[in-house]
Every structure is written in structure tokens, then in C-alpha cells.
């Protein structure tokens, strides 16, 4: 019981994708005898119906969209936490729990982690929009005592999805929205567990339509099939989740192009192709996840859970690829007036500005021009093989297969609880590029299209013909649509975990202790022999093993019935992610220095008060992370090539305080306040190891001056005030005021190094140096959001028992004030103009939040 209460205190949940939801306090825990509670929320089926449709879309399919504009996620508390005052939504803001990387938070399905091993993003994409499955869940803070996970710095969420846990129900739901899609249809059938002890569940969900921003859309189908059988104290379940997704997303834009386009929905990624709107960047996903679970309730005090899962996942991201030409993006810096302004050609800049203002098509991708280029090439071509493509739509494909097993054993003694767990997963991910569309040409030549011939590198005189080959096994290959090119490699990953946790609960004191061990293994298997890296691109890389561990301890003291305080401490080490271990997995087997693991140290203390009218929770936390790794990949103007800055030793500190308060007011009103005030920053000047894709010889180091700069991407301060009204007649309405600030644009490490300012005289122009080094602070974001729901019991019922029909409505309106220029996130471009030492040649890109946007759901169930 105590554990549950502790768990419920984890009132702040944020999903892995930049949303936060402040999950408030579990009311029935807070107000066990509260008349308010009873009056406000009778445990009626009508209100329960609302639970299912209050899940708005969470656009979490894509782990890489951490940068896109989000609508609200909605992960509601468990069924009884209910309603309304418990979720505050930071619409589209980049709030992350305590400023940590999203990957500190993980999702579990029936006690088993769901994620890929390569990037370890929390596995929202497994659900493919089937939000009904997100309804029954447990949220735990990883540094506290936990029940299904060894924990960690972040927040851990376990979704319990089993056919037998759904009540018998047939539900049809339709939602209309103007966010990333227009329509959503969902059909649920749950048989419930009958006399046969069999249960079956089916959910089919489709989402269709254009998105809020120009040129975006989302079409997806997701299906769930669940089967359960209960035999005595065993329950066996099969859960199959699968579906397809096709999504064109908006891009971060330059302020300059957005202003020229004079559109708040400007998106540079699309253009007209044969008079049809076409987005150059589309993400497609195909996924099939199946999980077999077995739960054995050995007795009232002991339980064993076993899971076995298989995942097949294919992700395709399309974008332009080109050679011998300029970037086809309309935002390419040489196509913009600002470029001419920098060159002091004001008249050209003005002319171009006028032209672009009058011709908004010029601010979109010009497919017609690409097709024209290919036609002209044809005229000049003497080769019989047809037109060599200069521009193509390329597809980056990742095919993953994963098999995983997990077991969790829990045992309760009189005042002691024990949890034991193991998890083991193996994954193969095949990565390659593929020609998606030749755009009127006949073939693409598979050679290194960024090979700089004008550089004077000594080693290049060996055999230039060989050096430009992407694959020496098939040199100068002519690639057709659908064929692979450039790179092709497999990553093999293995993760084993063993953990144990004990919780001792005495009258005044509760103590928990947790330990876990992790083993990670990665290696790469290259299928191409790159001309620049002939000796370390083909074949198997070295095998990299990592052993990491975690220990945590916590003490909680009950001052009296209403107040208690606690203190928790955690230390863990973390293996590098595969994506941060291989410097350039798409090219070679080279790995960064792997001798140091990341270490995290966390301490937190908190105070909780609960009485009939007030619930209050204050905590303070301090986290220190050492040797965090990050690899920046970008076009490096110094080497005229794509390249990497690998930072293996970033030290960070996070400290701050969180507060959650909930006050029951008369007249069925409920007021809540949530704040998160933090200070997250870098505390050292890490070393960057600089490498370039066009030369095996370039490898230099540079100090990156990050010390004291803020950790970017997440607002460091966030406040939410909400007021809800619950009507006894099964409807409610609530407003949220959400403010986030102290958020900074993602920083370019190049700008914080000596070469970036080497030609600026600090005695004369310190201001310019400041401008280059100063992080870009985003303006304060303010949102006013509204939610409301109503559930009506219909007069008829279909089967026997209490299976009444219900009609439910749920409305969610965000940014009610329609504020149009809220910047939700920003990114400094990683390209830097060394020549002019000017940060404005490649200015920051911005993501904007949507103006007023809504989602309205209607559900009919019986």
C-alpha cells in the first residue's frame, strides 16, 4: 500500500517526446475520506467511459521527432486518478523532466521495456496511435522505490495491457482535430473475461488527413489484438500490436523565410510536383510487436511475471540527395536575401526580397526545376544508359528485429517487500540507403557525392578513382529506384539486465534499497567497402562490451499522519548508446574512446503534506552527470565535408525544486498549481574529437567552451495553474494556464570553440565574441488551454447486467488565445562561417507552436 502511495506521488510525468504532463496527485489516496471526492466523482461507469476518450493523440510514433511541434500527448493517470485536474499539458513546449535527456524515461508494457536498443528512446511508437492502451498504467519515479523496473534518473511508466483487464465493451469513437491530422476513427471490442476464462480484445484505429502546417499530413492504421486465458492462478496473454504510418512533418524554419512567406504555417519541405503537393521528407513506419505474457499469482504475497516478445520494425525517412548542384532546399543560405546582405550587395538582396515576397512558390521545393535539369542532362548525354540523376529522393531505411525476455518476481513479507527482475534482449538493425524517386532521371551513380577534389591531402594521390567509391565491391554502380546505395550495415546489440530491490516498511520509517547490473554488447557488420576506409568498413567491427550498474537507497519518515519527508540517493553508470559509440556507423567501424562510462549521481529530498483541503508536495533535487557523450554530425565548412564532433566527456549538473499543490475549493472547484524550477547546466569544457567523412586522416581535437552554459532544449522553469469544475451530472470543464521559460536553443559546439573566434580581437570586439558564445534564449511561452468532457448514460442496454450504452464527448482546445508566434524550440545550425566568423550566416532555426488548435472526440459504447 505504502509503495503505491509513493508511486502515486510521482505526479509529474513527461513522455519521451518533449511533452510533459503534470500528473497530479492520486485523489483517492490524498483524500480517502473526502466528501468532495465522493461528491465530485462517483465511481460511475459514465465517468469511466470518459477515461478512454480523454486520451488525445500523442504524436509519439517517431522517436526522432523530438524536435517537431507537438500537440498534447495525453497520458492520463490510472483509471482512478482521473480526472481533469490531474493533467497539465505543456503544449508543444520542450519541457523535459528535470532537464534530463528523454531517454532517461522509459516505457514498459506489462512489465517489459519497449524500446529499440540502438537509440533507446521510450517506445511510444509501439502504440501507433492506439491510445486506448495507454489508459491503465503505473508511473514511477526511477530514483524512488519502484515495482516493475530497476529505475534510474527519469520517470518510468508501465502500461498494463491484457485482454482480460478490459471490461466487456464495444466502442466506436470518432475524433476531429486540426493538429497533425484531421480525422481519427477507432473501433474497440473487448469480450471481457467470461465463464470460459478466455478473453479477446480488438482495437482498430485509423488516423487520416492534413496537418496544421503546410504540406504536412498523417495517415496511419494501427491494430491491437489481445488474447487472454486464465487458468487457476495463472494468466496467459498474447498481445499483438501492429500497423502502418505515413507522416509528413513540418520543419524548423528560418525567421527570414517564414517572414517572406508571410505565413504562420510555413513549411519549406514541400513543393508542387506535377501540380500536386509533395513533401520531400516523409516518414514511413511499419511495425509488428507481439508479446506473450504469463503472470503467476503464486499466493497472495508472491507473484511471478514472464514475458517474451518479438518486434519487427521498419522505418523509412525520405529526403533529398544530390551531387554537383546546390541544396534543393528553398532555405539554402545562398538562395536568401540575407546572403547578399552579408556580402554587402544590398540592391541584390532587395530585389530578391521583393521577388520572394511576390512569389511564394519560390519558397517551396522546386520539383519542376529538378525535372528540367534532368531533361537538359539528357540532351547533353552521350551515354546510352540514360540520364544520371543529379537530385533524387533518397530513403534512409532502418529495419530492426528484436527478441526479448523478461521476468519479474515480487514477494511480500510482513514488513518487507522484495522485487527481483531480469531482462534480456537481442537486436539486429539493418541500415541502408535506397533510391526512392529518381525524379525523371534514369539512374543514380553510387559514388561519394561530397568528395572534395580540391583539397590537398597527401594520401589522396594513391588512386583517386578508388577513393570516391562508396563500395569498392561494386564500383561506379548505376542505381535504380528501390535499390540500395551508399551504405549498408548491420548493428548487433545485446542488453542484459538483472535487478533486485527491497523495501522495508516500519511504522514511522520506510527504507528502500535497489541494485541493478547491466551488460551491453554492440558490434557493427559492414556490407560495403568504402573507398576512403577500405580496411575498416567491410566486415565485423570489434565487439564492444560494457558493464554498468546502479545502486539506490531511500529513506522516508512519517512525521505524523499528514506530513512526511523523504530522502533518496542514486548512482549509476551507463554504457554509451550505439549511436554515440560509432563515430560514423554509415561509413566505418571506427569507435570513439570507450574507456569511460557515463556516471550519474542524484540526491533528492522532499516533503509531502496531505489533508482534506490541501495536498502539497515539494522536492529538491541535485543531479551530477559525468562523461556524458554526444556526437554532432553536420556539414563542416572547415573540411568541406560532412563530419563529426564527438564529445565523450561532457559534465552536467541539474538542480532545482518542484512543487505540486492541489486545493479543494467549494462549489465543486479544484485548483492546482504545479511548478518546476531548475538550473541545468554544463560544468566543464568538454573535448571534441573532430573527424571528417571525406578523409581518414583528419582527426583533431578542440576544447568546447560549454562551461556554465545552460542545458538546452528544455525550459528550465515551468509553471501551471489549473482550475477545474466538476459537475455531479457527469461533466467537467477545466482551464490550464501554462508558462514555461528559461529555455535555450540547441547549441552549436563549433561556435563555442577557439577557431570560431580566432580572428576576433577581444580587446576591440568582445561584444562580437559574446554574441557567438551566448546561448540563444527563447522568449517565455504562455498557453491557455481548455479541456472538457461529458458522458451520458443512454436509456437502453444491450446485454444483461449493467451494460448500459454511453455517449461521451471530450474537447481539448489548446492555445485558446491563438498566440501565433510562440517558439516551442530552436536550434542553432551546426554549420559555421569560419571565414567571416559570423554566427548569422547560418542563423538558428525555429519550431513554432500551433495557433489555436483543438481535438473533439465523440464515443459511443455499450
Partner 1 sequence: MRIFPLVYVLGYICLFFSCQKNEITFPKISDDETGNTSIMELKKQYKNPGTFWTITEDIRISGIVIANDENGNFYKKIIIQDSSGGIAINIDGYELYKEYPIGRKLNINCKNLTLNDYAHSINLGFKINEDQPLLLPIPRKITGNYIKKGGFDYDLKPRLVTISQLSTDLHDSHQNTLVKLEGLQPSMRDKNKTLADPNKRWPSSSYTLYDCQGNILVLRTSSYSNLASEPLPTDNGSIIGIFTPYFQEKIADKAKRDEKNITLRNINELDFSNPRCNNNPEELRKAKQKRTKKY
**How near is the Cβ of 712 to partner 1 at its closest, in Å?**
12
Q: In which region does residue 786 sit, left (phi positive, over 0), alpha (psi from -120 to 50) or beta (all else)?
A: beta
Residue 441, C-beta contacts closer than 8 angstroms, at least 6 positions apart? 374, 377, 386, 387, 388, 389, 390, 392
Q: Which span sits near partner 1 by CB under 8 A: 644-652, 722-730, 762-770, 803-811? A: 762-770
Quote the CA–CA distance of 144 and 621 in Å, as a whole number. 12
Quote the CA–CA distance of 170 and 52 in Å, as a whole number. 12
**How near is the Cβ of 709 to partner 1 at its closest, in Å?**
6
Is 677 among the residues that bind partner 1 (CB under 8 A)?
yes
Q: Which span sits near partner 1 by CB under 8 A: 211-219, 355-363, 627-635, 654-662? A: 654-662
Binds partner 1 by CB under 8 A, chosen from 436, 710, 749, 788: 710
Q: Are 740 and 96 in contact (CB under 8 A)?
A: no
Return the sign of the alpha-carbon dihedral for residues 465, 468, 471, 477: negative
Quote the CA–CA distance of 778 and 690 in Å, as a whole number. 29
What is the DSSP code (8-state) at residue 657? E
**How near is the Cβ of 768 to partner 1 at its closest, in Å?**
12
Binds partner 1 by CB under 8 A, chosen from 624, 707, 793, 819: 707
Binds partner 1 by CB under 8 A, chosen from 252, 397, 503, 757: 757
Quote the CA–CA distance of 303 and 730 in Å, as a whole number. 37
Q: Would you say 445 or 567 has its CB closer to partner 1?
A: 567
Q: Which span sits near partner 1 by CB under 8 A: 24-32, 255-263, 413-421, 771-779? A: 771-779
Binds partner 1 by CB under 8 A, chosen from 202, 563, 573, 737: 563
318: cell is 525520405
Q: Would you say 476 or 761 has its CB closer to partner 1?
A: 761
Is 77 among the residues that bind partner 1 (CB under 8 A)?
no
Quote the CA–CA distance of 516 and 521 in Å, as a whole number. 17
Residue reference for cell 580540391: 454
- Binding residues for partner 1, total number by CB under 8 A: 41
Is 759 among the residues that bind partner 1 (CB under 8 A)?
yes
Is 709 among the residues that bind partner 1 (CB under 8 A)?
yes
206: cell is 485509423
Binds partner 1 by CB under 8 A, chosen from 359, 385, 770, 821: 770
Selection from 764, 742, 766, 758 nearest residue 833 by Cα: 758
Is 763 among the residues that bind partner 1 (CB under 8 A)?
yes
Binds partner 1 by CB under 8 A, chosen from 94, 211, 656, 696: 656
Is 456 among the residues that bind partner 1 (CB under 8 A)?
yes
Selection from 452, 410, 228 nearest residue 323 by Cα: 452
583: cell is 563515430
List residues bridging with 179 in a β-sheet: none
Q: Which span sits near partner 1 by CB under 8 A: 150-158, 314-322, 677-685, 725-733? A: 677-685
Binds partner 1 by CB under 8 A, chosen from 611, 679, 687, 737: 679
Residue reference for cell 580496411: 535
**How near is the Cβ of 306 to partner 1 at its closest, in Å?**
42
Find the farthest-apart pair of alpha carbons in the chain and give their distance in angstroms, rounded: 89
Quote the CA–CA distance of 90 and 13 in Å, as a whole number. 11
**How near is the Cβ of 776 to partner 1 at its closest, in Å?**
12
Q: Which span sits near partner 1 by CB under 8 A: 58-66, 368-376, 414-422, 449-457? A: 449-457
Binds partner 1 by CB under 8 A, chosen from 565, 721, 739, 807: 565
Q: Would you say 380 or 763 has its CB closer to partner 1?
A: 763
Give me the DSSP letters along 498-536: EEEEEEEE-SSEEEEEEEEEEEEEEEEEE-S--SSSTTT
3-state class of 342 per DSSP? helix
Is 761 among the residues that bind partner 1 (CB under 8 A)?
yes
Phi, psi (degrees; rounded to nearest 5) at 743? -115, 145
Is 613 among the residues that bind partner 1 (CB under 8 A)?
no
User: How crowded is residue 699: how many other Cβ atoms within 10 Å of its Cβ?
Assistant: 12
Q: Would you say 454 or 462 has its CB closer to partner 1?
A: 454
Residue 684, C-beta contacts closer than 8 angstroms, at least 6 positions apart? 649, 650, 651, 706, 707
Q: Would you say 433 or 711 has its CB closer to partner 1?
A: 711
Binds partner 1 by CB under 8 A, chosen from 68, 753, 791, 803: 753
Is 742 among the residues that bind partner 1 (CB under 8 A)?
yes
User: In degrees to the nearest 10, what's the CA dihedral of 469, 470, 471, 472?
Assistant: 20
Binds partner 1 by CB under 8 A, chosen from 774, 818, 820, 840: 774
Binds partner 1 by CB under 8 A, chosen from 102, 705, 732, 846: 705
Binds partner 1 by CB under 8 A, chosen from 296, 450, 773, 862: 773
Is 657 among the residues that bind partner 1 (CB under 8 A)?
yes
Helix locations, 711-796, DSSP H: 754-757, 762-773
Q: Which span sits near partner 1 by CB under 8 A: 353-361, 394-402, 571-579, 761-769? A: 761-769
Binds partner 1 by CB under 8 A, chosen from 775, 788, 789, 843: 775
- Note the Cα 169 to chain centre separation in Å: 32
User: How crowded is residue 221: how many other Cβ atoms within 10 Å of its Cβ?
Assistant: 17
Quote the CA–CA distance of 640 and 616 in Å, as a whole number. 56
**How near is the Cβ of 42 to partner 1 at its closest, in Å?**
33
Q: Would you say 409 or 773 has its CB closer to partner 1?
A: 773
Q: Which span sits near partner 1 by CB under 8 A: 251-259, 279-287, 750-758, 810-818? A: 750-758
Q: Which span sits near partner 1 by CB under 8 A: 58-66, 328-336, 513-521, 707-715? A: 707-715
Which residues between 533 and 562 bind partner 1 (CB under 8 A)?
A: 559-560
Return the sign of the alpha-carbon dihedral for residues 384, 390, 393, 398: positive
Binds partner 1 by CB under 8 A, chosen from 32, 325, 539, 762: 762
Binds partner 1 by CB under 8 A, chosen from 703, 780, 804, 831: 703
Quote the CA–CA distance of 842 and 282 in Å, as a whole number. 25
Binds partner 1 by CB under 8 A, chosen from 4, 167, 459, 708: 708
Q: Would you say 167 or 761 has its CB closer to partner 1?
A: 761
761: cell is 580581437
Q: Which span sits near partner 1 by CB under 8 A: 257-265, 506-514, 655-663, 779-787? A: 655-663
Q: Would you say 372 or 759 has its CB closer to partner 1?
A: 759
Q: Which span sits near partner 1 by CB under 8 A: 266-274, 427-435, 518-526, 755-763? A: 755-763
760: cell is 576576433
651: cell is 559534465
Binds partner 1 by CB under 8 A, chosen from 1, 231, 667, 758: 758
Helix locations, 482-616, DSSP H: 578-581
3-state class of 363 per DSSP? helix
Q: Would you say 129 or 775 has its CB closer to partner 1?
A: 775
Q: Which span sits near partner 1 by CB under 8 A: 95-103, 139-147, 340-348, 706-714? A: 706-714
Is 768 among the residues that bind partner 1 (CB under 8 A)?
no
Quote the CA–CA distance of 250 and 68 in Å, as a whole number. 7
* CB burial of residue 506 (10 Å; 0-12, 13-18, 19+): exposed
Q: In which region does residue 6 sit, left (phi positive, over 0), alpha (psi from -120 to 50) or beta (all else)?
A: alpha
Q: Would you say 232 or 507 has its CB closer to partner 1?
A: 507
H or E, element range at 571? strand 563-574
Helix locations, 741-833, DSSP H: 754-757, 762-773
User: Where along the sequence are the contacts to partner 1 (CB under 8 A)?
Assistant: 454-456, 559-560, 563, 565, 606-607, 609, 618, 620, 656-657, 659, 675, 677, 679, 685, 703, 705, 707-710, 716, 742, 753-754, 757-759, 761-764, 769-770, 773-775
Amino acid at each position: 500500500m505504502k509503495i503505491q502511495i509513493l508511486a502515486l506521488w510521482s505526479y509529474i510525468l513527461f513522455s519521451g517526446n518533449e511533452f510533459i504532463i503534470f500528473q497530479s496527485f492520486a485523489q483517492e489516496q490524498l483524500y480517502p475520506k473526502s466528501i468532495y471526492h465522493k461528491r465530485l466523482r462517483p465511481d460511475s461507469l459514465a465517468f469511466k467511459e470518459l477515461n478512454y476518450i480523454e486520451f488525445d493523440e500523442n504524436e509519439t510514433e517517431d522517436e526522432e521527432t523530438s524536435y517537431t511541434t507537438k500537440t498534447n500527448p495525453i497520458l492520463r493517470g490510472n483509471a482512478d486518478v482521473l480526472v481533469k485536474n490531474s493533467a497539465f499539458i505543456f503544449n508543444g513546449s520542450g519541457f523535459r523532466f528535470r532537464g534530463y535527456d528523454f531517454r532517461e524515461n522509459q516505457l514498459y508494457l506489462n512489465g517489459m521495456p519497449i524500446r529499440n536498443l540502438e537509440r533507446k528512446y521510450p517506445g511510444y511508437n509501439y502504440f501507433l496511435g492506439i491510445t486506448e492502451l495507454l489508459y491503465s498504467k503505473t508511473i514511477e519515479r526511477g530514483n524512488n522505490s519502484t515495482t516493475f523496473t530497476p529505475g534510474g534518473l527519469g520517470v518510468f511508466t508501465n502500461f498494463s495491457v491484457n485482454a482480460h483487464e478490459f471490461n466487456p465493451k464495444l466502442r466506436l469513437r470518432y475524433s476531429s482535430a486540426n493538429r497533425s491530422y484531421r480525422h481519427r476513427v477507432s473501433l474497440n471490442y473487448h469480450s471481457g473475461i467470461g465463464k470460459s476464462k478466455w478473453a479477446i480484445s480488438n482495437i482498430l484505429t485509423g488516423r487520416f488527413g492534413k496537418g496544421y502546417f503546410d504540406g504536412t499530413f498523417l495517415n496511419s492504421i494501427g491494430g491491437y489484438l489481445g488474447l487472454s486465458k486464465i487458468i487457476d492462478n495463472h494468466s496467459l496473454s498474447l498481445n499483438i500490436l501492429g500497423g502502418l504510418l505515413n507522416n509528413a512533418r513540418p520543419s524548423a524554419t528560418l525567421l527570414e523565410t517564414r517572414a517572406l512567406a508571410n505565413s504562420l504555417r510555413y513549411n519549406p519541405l514541400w513543393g508542387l510536383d506535377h501540380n500536386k503537393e509533395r513533401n520531400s521528407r516523409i516518414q514511413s513506419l511499419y511495425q509488428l510487436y507481439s508479446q506473450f505474457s504469463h503472470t503467476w499469482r503464486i499466493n497472495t504475497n508472491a507473484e511471478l511475471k514472464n514475458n517474451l516478445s518479438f518486434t519487427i520494425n521498419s522505418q523509412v525517412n525520405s529526403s533529398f540527395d544530390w551531387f554537383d548542384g546546390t541544396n534543393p532546399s528553398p532555405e539554402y543560405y545562398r538562395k536568401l536575401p540575407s546572403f547578399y546582405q552579408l556580402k554587402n550587395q544590398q540592391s541584390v538582396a532587395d530585389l530578391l526580397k521583393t521577388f520572394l515576397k511576390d512569389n511564394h512558390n519560390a519558397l517551396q521545393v522546386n520539383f519542376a526545376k529538378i525535372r528540367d535539369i534532368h531533361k537538359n542532362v539528357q540532351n547533353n548525354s552521350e551515354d546510352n544508359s540514360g540520364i544520371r540523376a543529379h537530385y533524387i529522393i533518397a530513403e534512409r531505411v532502418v529495419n530492426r528485429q528484436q527478441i526479448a525476455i523478461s521476468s519479474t518476481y515480487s514477494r511480500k513479507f510482513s514488513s518487507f517487500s522484495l522485487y527481483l527482475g531480469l531482462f534480456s534482449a537481442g537486436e539486429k538493425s539493418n541500415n541502408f540507403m535506397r533510391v526512392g524517386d529518381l525524379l525523371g532521371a534514369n539512374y543514380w551513380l553510387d559514388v561519394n557525392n561530397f568528395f572534395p577534389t580540391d583539397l590537398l591531402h597527401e594520401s589522396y594521390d594513391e588512386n583517386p578513382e578508388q577513393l570516391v567509391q562508396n563500395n569498392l565491391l561494386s564500383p561506379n554502380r548505376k542505381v535504380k529506384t528501390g535499390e540500395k546505395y551508399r551504405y549498408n550495415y548491420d548493428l548487433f546489440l545485446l542488453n542484459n539486465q538483472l535487478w533486485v530491490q527491497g523495501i522495508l516498511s516500519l511504522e514511522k520509517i520506510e527504507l528502500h534499497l535497489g541494485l541493478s547490473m547491466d551488460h551491453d554488447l554492440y558490434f557493427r557488420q559492414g556490407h560495403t567497402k568504402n573507398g576512403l576506409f577500405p580496411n575498416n568498413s567491410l566486415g565485423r567491427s570489434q565487439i564492444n562490451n560494457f558493464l554498468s550498474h546502479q545502486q539506490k537507497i531511500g529513506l522516508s519518515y512519517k512525521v505524523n499522519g499528514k506530513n512526511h519527508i523523504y530522502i533518496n540517493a542514486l548512482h549509476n553508470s551507463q554504457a554509451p548508446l550505439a549511436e554515440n559509440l560509432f563515430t560514423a556507423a554509415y561509413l566505418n567501424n571506427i569507435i570513439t574512446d570507450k574507456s569511460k562510462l557515463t556516471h550519474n549521481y542524484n540526491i533528492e529530498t522532499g516533503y509531502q503534506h496531505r489533508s482534506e483541503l490541501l495536498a502539497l508536495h515539494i522536492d529538491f533535487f541535485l543531479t551530477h552527470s559525468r562523461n556524458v557523450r554526444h556526437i554532432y554530425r553536420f556539414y563542416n565548412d572547415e573540411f568541406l565535408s560532412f563530419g563529426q564532433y564527438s564529445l565523450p566527456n561532457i559534465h552536467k549538473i541539474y538542480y532545482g525544486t518542484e512543487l505540486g499543490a492541489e486545493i479543494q475549493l467549494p462549489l465543486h472547484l479544484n485548483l492546482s498549481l504545479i511548478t518546476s524550477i531548475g538550473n541545468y547546466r554544463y560544468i566543464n569544457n568538454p573535448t571534441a574529437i573532430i573527424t571528417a567523412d571525406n578523409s581518414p586522416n583528419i582527426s583533431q581535437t578542440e576544447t568546447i567552451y560549454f562551461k556554465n552554459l545552460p542545458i538546452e532544449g528544455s525550459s528550465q522553469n515551468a509553471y501551471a495553474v489549473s482550475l477545474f469544475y466538476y459537475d455531479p451530472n457527469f461533466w467537467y470543464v477545466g482551464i490550464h494556464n501554462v508558462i514555461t521559460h528559461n529555455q535555450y536553443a540547441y547549441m552549436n559546439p563549433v561556435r563555442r570553440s577557439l577557431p570560431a573566434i580566432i580572428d576576433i580581437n577581444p580587446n576591440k570586439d568582445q561584444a562580437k565574441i559574446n554574441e557567438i558564445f551566448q546561448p540563444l534564449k527563447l522568449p517565455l511561452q504562455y498557453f491557455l488551454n481548455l479541456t472538457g468532457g461529458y458522458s451520458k448514460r443512454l436509456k437502453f442496454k444491450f446485454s444483461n447486467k449493467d451494460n448500459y450504452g454511453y455517449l461521451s464527448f471530450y474537447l481539448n482546445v489548446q492555445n485558446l488565445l491563438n498566440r501565433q508566434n510562440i517558439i516551442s524550440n530552436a536550434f542553432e545550425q551546426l554549420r559555421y562561417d569560419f571565414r567571416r566568423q559570423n554566427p548569422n550566416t547560418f542563423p538558428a532555426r525555429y519550431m513554432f507552436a500551433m495557433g489555436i488548435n483543438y481535438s473533439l472526440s465523440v464515443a459511443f459504447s455499450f
